[in-house]
A and B are shown apart, each in its own frame.
Chain A
Amino acid sequence: MAFLQDPTLIVEWLRQLLLGWGLSPALTSLALYVLGALALATGPLLWVIFLIWFERKAVARIQDRLGPNRVGKYGLLQPFADVLKLLTKEDIIPAKADKFLYWMAPILSLAGVLLLWPAVPLGKGIGGNVNVAVLYLVAVGTLSTFAILVAGWSANNKYALLGAFRTVAQMISYEVPIVLALLVPVLLARSMNLQDIVAAQDVWFVVAAPLPALIFFIASIAEVGRTPFDLLEAESEIIAGFHIEYSGMKFAMFFAGEFLHAFTVGVLGAVLFFGGWRGPGAEAYPILGLFYLWLKAFLLYFVIVWVRGTFPRVRIDHLLDFTWKFLTPLALVVLMATAVLDKALVRAGAWPRALGLLVVNAVIWLLAQRWLRKVEKRLEPPMVAQPGQYPVARYTPPEPQAAEGD
């Protein structure tokens, strides 16, 4: 099976086929690009349908419920039923909406997530090989931010706009630690190309850079807007936030975008910190590499679902304090320490370098912990259970204030 050793053969085969049909070489290349793009885009889109089922089932089990179990075996056909329902729902467009932007927002939202995929290396020599891939990911991420701003604006509903403002404030605040954390794998691999970053991980970067990996993971969850950082669209408290006026398939696109984004975070985490497609035998059989990447990504995605099922929602001031006053300074310090130590250890070989960086990360983490304890003591009275009392902080109603819009 030559195909298993070199999947690019399929491209060659297709090229010969198309050339045999009498297409010109240039047109053949274009057709192949279009086919490749279609395959790379529809794959994740179909995968989302399974993800929705998986997440509902997993969260249900965590919360001691059954989850979908009526349609098909284990409720596996539930997402298809949902899609059918959403497709046949009325598409309500608010009378005062800014029509063009109202249509554009959900499209941009999903496209912004899909566009992350061409940069991802799927195996040795297959998938993304973009020379500035890491910054490309950040650049494409801005499209999602814009989609939310446009969605909140175009519906002409002040609550939608307020929700969009808050969501965007959250997203851009968490983008700072993400960009900082991404800088560390780039520094360790001396390249922004994800293919090179994977190739440089003889020792997974999570060993050399556990703190940046953690920062990237947490901040990405917030960027996607999932629990515990989903207070901007908290279903159980306020209605929806920026997509309040959206219904039917447009609403579904925002939702699909969120689910796919969560999985994509898993993929990016796997590529940047967990060796990507690397694994035993992946060099010889690239298909195996694709499987490893998928497995690692799925495990990380499961952690995201797990977090969603277990953690309570945070408050908005805590949310913003957490990124600006903890994650960002921490990431800056880790970046400086990594830069200095990496210059000193560059000739020491892969494992000593990784272990040295690991020790530095651990020291920084301990110092951060100590600092946190100190700040904690200064800020809030300790919530310790007294005999005969529940460990619940006392609620003090806020001072009555003049009516305000926000």
Chain B
Amino acid sequence: MVTTFVFLLTAVVMLVAALIAVLKDNLVHAAMGLVVTLFGTAVLFVLMEAYFLAVAQVVIYVGAIAILIVFSIMLTRRVGAAWGAQTNPTWPFALLVAGLLTVLVTRMVRAWAPDQVLPAAAAVPADMTARLGAALVDPNGYVVPFEVASVLLLAALIGAVYVAWGGRKAEKETHK
């Protein structure tokens, strides 16, 4: 009962916030919509008893990714300037594609798993976080994705710093 109510409330808030995120011309408001959606996702994770991932979702998405996005929006805009239209003239086309995709997937889901509920025996083990940690470094488990992720992040950092930052000397010259 309570979980169903919380789920429905979260879902509605999330979807409205997601609409704000893609429709608002004021991009800071759009980013705030994104933050609310990300938070709602974390609530859904708690409902699914994936507690570690719920907090990780908030730490990574809300705490780091959203802040990076908000930074980029605020840094590239004149304070007090008008936003102007943020939508392409071809938006009806986009609406058509997105709408078709959504309807198709939703119909497929309804047809495939109409009312599958949780099996009675399906409990999440209490030490799930420890199991995840062990699996991440287990040679027979997922050690390759784990190490590849670290290399990917290292590469991303190097690439991003290289692209965005020319070093102090180059920086001084571009601003002269």
Binding site for B on A (CB under 8 A): 26, 96, 98, 101, 131-132, 135-136, 138-142, 145-146, 149-150, 153, 156-158, 161, 165, 168, 172, 175, 190, 192, 402, 404
| A138–B129 touching, CB < 8 Å | no
With A132-B55, A146-B67, A161-B79: A153-B28 Cβ-Cβ less than 8 Å: yes
Q: Are B28 and A139 in contact (CB under 8 A)?
A: no
What A residues does B51 contact at CB under 8 A? 131-132
Contact A149 B59 (CB under 8 A): no
The verdict on B141 contacting chain A, using a C-beta distance below 8 Å, is no
| A132 engages B52 (CB within 8 Å) | yes
Within the assembled complex, what's the spacing in Å between the Cα atoms of A285 and B175? 66
Q: Is B155 among interface residues, defined by CB-CB distance under 8 A?
A: no
- A131/B80 contact (C-beta < 8 A), A145-B67, A146-B35, A153-B28 known: no
| B43 is an interface residue with CB less than 8 A from chain A | no
What is the minimal beta-carbon distance from B6 to any residue of chain A, in angstroms? 12
Q: Min CB distance, A341 to chain B, in Å? A: 18
B: residues with CB less than 8 A from A are 1-2, 28, 32, 35, 51-52, 54-56, 58-59, 62-64, 66-67, 70-71, 74-75, 79-80, 126, 129-130, 175-176
Kindly state the separation between the CA atoms of A138 and B67 in the bound complex, as whole angstroms: 15
Given contacts A135-B55, A142-B59, A192-B129, whether A172 and B67 have CB atoms under 8 Å apart is yes
* Complex-state Cα separation, A101 to B171, whole angstroms: 34
Which 6 pairs, one residue from A and one from B, show the smallest C-beta to C-beta distance?
A: A142-B63, A139-B58, A135-B55, A139-B55, A158-B79, A139-B59
* Contact residue among B1, B28, B59 (Cβ-Cβ distance under 8 Å from A135): B59
| Interface SS of B by simple majority | helix
B67 touching A132 by the CB < 8 A rule? no
Task: Taking A138-B63, A172-B67 as given, write out 16 further A-B residue pairs in contact, using a Cβ cutoff of 8 Å, ordered by the A residue number.
Answer: A26-B1, A101-B28, A131-B51, A131-B126, A135-B52, A139-B63, A140-B58, A142-B59, A145-B63, A146-B62, A146-B67, A149-B67, A150-B32, A153-B74, A156-B79, A165-B71
* Contact among B35, B71, B74, B129 for A132, CB-based, below 8 A: B129
A156 and B70 alpha carbons, distance in the complex (Å): 15
Which of chain A's residues have a CB closer than 8 A to the CB of B130? 190
Contacts of A145 in B (CB 8 A): 63, 67
Chain A residues within 8 Å of B62, by CB: 139, 142, 146
